[in-house]
Amino acid sequence: MDRPDQRITSSDARTGPWNYWRPAGEGILELGTVRGETVGLPTHFHWEDQVTFVLSGRRRFVIGGEVVVLEAGHGTLIPAGVPHRSLSEPHGVLCFNAYVPPAEYAIADLMSSIRRLRLEADRICWEGVAATIRDH
């Protein structure tokens, strides 16, 4: 059974399709990417807000008992402390997560700005992504 009190940290998720790093500068605690089909995680939460943006494929989460589906070019905010889990994707996905201080970002404006970057799955300027997140 999934435990909503379980917390996933970057050190827990450094294998398989996950890749995490800490960008230089203020405002972003950690960036991460996930690629592939085996992207399911058990119910967990973060002390930080999680901003997720899908670059290709789709990503599905269960948040508060509801399934949230994100297609390529869309993202969402999972607030700090909210239990959630991600589901595996039979056709694969590429997305990034940014872990940021709670309640500090204007999420609608941020998602619009990320969309305007027109990110391509294999050509991502992470400095540009980080700067865009910090601007909001």
Taken in order of first residue, the domains within the chain and their CATH numbers are: 10-135 (2.60.120.10)
Greater pLDDT, 71 or 24: 71
| Range 21-45 average pLDDT | 85
Rounded CA gap, 1 and 18, in Å?
23
Q: What is the pLDDT of residue 122?
A: 60
Statement: the pTM of the whole predicted model exceeds 0.75: yes
Per-residue pLDDT tens over the stretch 109-128: 888 887 777 666 566 666 77
Rounded CA gap, 6 and 3, in Å?
6
